[in-house]
Amino acid sequence: MRDGILVINAGSSSIKFSLYLSNGDGKPVLSSKGQVEGINVAPHFIAQGADGTVLSEQRWPGDSNLHHEELLKHLIDWVEDHLEGAELRAAGHRVVHGGPKYSTPVLVDDEVLEELEGYVQLAPLHQPHNLAPIRALAKVHPGLLQVACFDTAFHTTNPKVATTFALPRQLTEEGVRRYGFHGLSYEFIARRLREIDPQAAAGKVVVCHLGSGASMCGIKDGQSVASTLGFTAVDGLPMGTRTGNLDPGVILYLLEQKGMNAKEIETLLYKRSGLLGVSGISNDMRVLLESSDPHAAEAVELFCYRICRELGSLAAAMGGLDALVFTAGIGEHSAPVREKVCAASAWLGVDVDPAANVRHAQLVSTPASKVPVYVIPTDEEMMIAKHTRNVVSKLRQAAE
């Protein structure tokens, strides 16, 4: 019988899902996807086929007080009705933090769940929302195998020097160090690049994951060696609403001189900064690129400038650059951002082909470019589906 794998990617106000059914070779193929949005406000469920056709939609009133469990029950009931004869084998979850321990996906049991709850302090804005559906699903569908796939796992290959803050040793030993995130996306891209350009993939590659969350990763011979994201998901590049790296002295200034408390500073750093904070207009790159407001142009300029600085830094960490890859919402769709970054990176051997760039071709550099530049769509959900299938297959083999 064919296998069904449900992939769950849950945030603070939405639960995204994708249903994969195995093909003749046992490989997962996307069958349907959707989400529950407006959790705690006015929940809205939508499910679509792989081609985007709307298959089902339901809204609940704002005062319906529906909890995670009831919404997940609705989602899982819908999924069970759309298995096309396959059997639902497992749910794979995106979990932002695997801490220092988890370098690979893991089957979740009570013990693992408790351990992952211990990492909530390391990712307070993401981890609780990632874990809530695991707990809810265990109640509404007891017995369903659940696999946690971590955004940090791909970066566990980073050398110690890349993960250590210059803090007293005891703090480092407690786990105050760089972890890096967006690992499922980088892992997917590293595998795709091996298919597209195996020679470059065996070398020194910088991948720019530029979405509403943005980061960059140095990948050497397929393994992560350095990342712009650190202890939390607010380091590195400026993002839609997050600051990116910041002199820690600014935090002290906000605390001592501005009288702000920790919660207010957290909101400032995560929700009111980045493209939104600098432009004062929007966190959406499309809006900023279309705006004639000089503050919008400043936000775009700062975003590109920071990417270029980090590119130099990652190339230095790897001792060179053999390929550059753009991915995620802005990386895949914004030709002007790629153009600005590539133009300023000519010193690294990057030569962008403007015509190819404007049409979002897979290869956007000229034949003369020493460093090929690729645009590769990412697919974190597919990565989770593959990991989950592998965990299930190993369990099955072990039971045989």
Q: Which residues are catalytic?
A: 151
| Distance of closest approach, residue 200 Cβ to ligand AMP, in angstroms | 23
Give the separation between CA 52 and CA 160, rounded to whole angstroms: 44
DSSP bridge pairs for 220:
204, 223
Considering beta carbons, is residue 80 or 284 the nearer one to ligand AMP? 284
Residue closer to ligand AMP (CB basis): 177 or 340: 340
Give the per-residue contact string, 228-267, with ligand AMP (x = CB under 6 A; - = no): ------------x---------------------------
Residue closer to ligand AMP, measured from CB, 208 or 373: 208
329 — alpha (psi -120 to 50), left (phi > 0) or beta? alpha
Using CA atoms, how far apart are residues 239 and 324, in angstroms rounded to an integer? 20
Determine the Cα–Cα distance for residues 313 and 228; give it in Å rounded to an integer.
9
What string of DSSP letters covers 37-95?
E-TTTS-EEEEEETT--EEEEEE--TTS---HHHHHHHHHHHHHTTSTT-EEEEEEEEE
Among 330, 350, 364, 376, contact with ligand AMP (rule: CB under 6 A):
330
Ranked by CB distance to ligand AMP, the top (closest) residue is: 329
- Could you tell me which of 211, 248, 247, 207 has the C-alpha nearest to residue 228? 207
Does 271 bind ligand AMP (CB under 6 A)? Our answer is: no
Q: What would the 3-class secondary structure string for 100-135 be?
A: CCCCCCEECCHHHHHHHHCCHHHCCCCHHHHHHHHH
Structure tokens given for 205? 């590659």
334 to 373: interface string for ligand AMP, x by CB under 6 A: x---------------------------------------
Q: How far is the CB of 42 from ligand AMP (least distance, A)?
A: 22
Assess 328 for contact with ligand AMP (CB under 6 A).
yes
Mapped onto helix, strand or coil, the DSSP state of residue 399 is: helix
By CB under 6 A, is residue 286 in contact with ligand AMP? yes
Query: How many residues belong to the site for ligand AMP (CB under 6 A)?
Result: 11
Considering the complex, state which of residue 234 and residue 391 has its C-beta at the smaller distance from ligand AMP.
234
Instruction: Answer left, alpha or beta for residue 97, where phi above 0 means left and psi between -120 and 50 means alpha.
Output: beta
Q: Which two tokens stand for residue 235?
A: 């380091």
Compare residues 191 and 333 and give the one whose CB is closer to ligand AMP: 333
Smallest distance from ligand AMP to CB 334, Å: 4
Binding mask 118-157 for ligand AMP (x = CB under 6 A): ----------------------------------------
Q: Which residues bind ligand AMP (CB under 6 A)?
A: 211-212, 240, 284-286, 328-330, 333-334
